[in-house]
């Protein structure tokens, strides 16, 4: 059964892949657009790390 954590993690991964493809296909019109896309990827990666930290803390709390 998928948890909320699993669903969010999957959504973040899909969005990162979409943005990477966009950048990789050369669709950024200028440097500002490129920086914006890189910032979006960075933000999603931070969100994923926070999500994994929350999951780890939840699992540790369940073990106690």
1-42 pLDDT tens trace: 888 999 999 999 999 999 999 999 999 999 999 999 999 999
- Answer yes or no: are the C-beta atoms of 51 and 5 closer than 8 Å: yes
Residue 1 confidence (pLDDT):
87
Own/partner long-range contacts of 10-13 (Cβ < 8 Å, ≥24 apart): 12/44, 12/47, 12/48, 12/51, 13/48
Q: The whole model's pTM is what?
A: 0.86
Distance CA 48, CA 10 (A): 9
Residue 59 confidence (pLDDT):
87
Residue 30 confidence (pLDDT):
97
Residue 64 clears pLDDT 80, i.e. is over it: no
């Amino acid at each position: 059964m998928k948890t909320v954590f699993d669903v969010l993690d999957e959504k973040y991964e899909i969005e990162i892949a979409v943005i990477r493809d966009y950048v990789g296909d050369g669709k950024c019109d200028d440097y500002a657009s490129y920086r914006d896309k890189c910032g979006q990827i960075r933000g999603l990666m931070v969100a994923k790390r926070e999500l994994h930290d929350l999951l780890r803390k939840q699992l540790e709390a369940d073990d106690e």
